[in-house]
Amino acid sequence: MPRRVREQQIIDVGVRVFAKRGYHAASVDEIAELAGISKPMVYLYLDSKEGLFLACLRRESDRLVAAFQGAARAGAPEERLYAGLAAFFGFVSDHRDSWVVLHRQAADLGATIAAEVGEVRRVVMAEVAGLVGDGITDSGSGCRGALLGKEDADFVAHALVGAADSLTDWMARNPGESPDGVALRLMHMVWVGMRHALDGEAWAPGER
């Protein structure tokens, strides 16, 4: 079997085992057995348990980013953002083990792994901030367009990404909700609110 094919087979099994048992409890022996190879061969291909986990993390993060970017290519900014969010929620729904590795397991590990996760988040955040910024620009120039700026786009992007992360847990507790439906509800809450802000509406404490 070609090396690349064998590596992907090991990573497939690794994602399942890490998601099920967690990094510390996961055993290279179990991964090797499920992959149908010897333990030394796992180390030959991926160097160490951490090396295997990093390979799992990098492959699944690349898939997640590609899903978001691929969906958010065409149309108006809000349509692209909705499509990207729907693709994100679809990825999480279809690849739950991958999301557990990215979102749950990786957060509690060392600096090298944390850096990998941080880079994925940075890429997604930049994509979302760019789309929000384009939406602000497309809303028009002059007074209306000047009400929100780059800092607001960054603020909204952080709110969206944070909400999307949290909503993956909500989706797990509500399996009847579709990825498209969750993305649409999030757009209702955030994008429509931003549109009101562009129109000059603002909330203040004590107002009814």
pLDDT of residue 141: 43
Any idea which of 51-65, 66-80, 135-149 has the lowest mean pLDDT? 135-149
Tell me the C-alpha to C-alpha distance, in Å, between residue 73 and each of 6, 24, 138, 167.
33, 39, 16, 23
Any idea which of 26-30, 36-40, 186-190, 196-200 has the lowest mean pLDDT? 196-200
Asked if 28 and 39 count as a contact pair (C-beta separation under 8 A), the reply is yes
Any idea which of 34-43, 65-74, 119-128, 182-191 has the lowest mean pLDDT? 119-128
pLDDT of residue 131: 82
- Our measurement of the distance from residue 88's CA atom to the centroid of its chain's CA atoms, rounded to an integer in Å, reads 6
pLDDT tens-digit map of 115-148: 877 887 788 888 888 888 887 777 654 444 455 6
In the chain, % helix, strand, coil (3-state, to 5) comes to 80, 0, 20
Q: How far apart are CA 154 and CA 164, in angstroms?
A: 15
The alpha-helical segments, DSSP class H, found in 22-141 are 28-35, 39-46, 49-71, 77-94, 96-99, 111-138
The two tokens of residue 45 are: 């291909």
Domain layout of the chain by residue ranges: 60-198
The two tokens of residue 105 are: 């397991």
| CA distance between the termini of the chain | 68
Q: What crossing angle do the helices spanning 77-94 and 179-198 adopt, rounded to 10°?
A: 150
Q: Burial code of 149-170, b = ≥16 C-beta within 10 A, e = fewer?
A: eeebbbebbebbbeebeebbee
pLDDT tens-digit map of 160-170: 888 898 999 99
**One CATH from 3.30.470.10, 1.10.357.10, 3.30.2130.10, 3.40.50.800 for 60-198:** 1.10.357.10
User: Is residue 31 pLDDT above 50, yes or no?
Assistant: yes
pLDDT of residue 170: 93
Q: How far apart are CA 207 and CA 201, in angstroms?
A: 12
User: Is residue 55 pLDDT above 80, yes or no?
Assistant: yes
pLDDT (mean) for 159-186: 91
The two tokens of residue 10 are: 């090991």
At residue 103 the predicted structure's pLDDT band, cuts being 50, 70 and 90, is confident
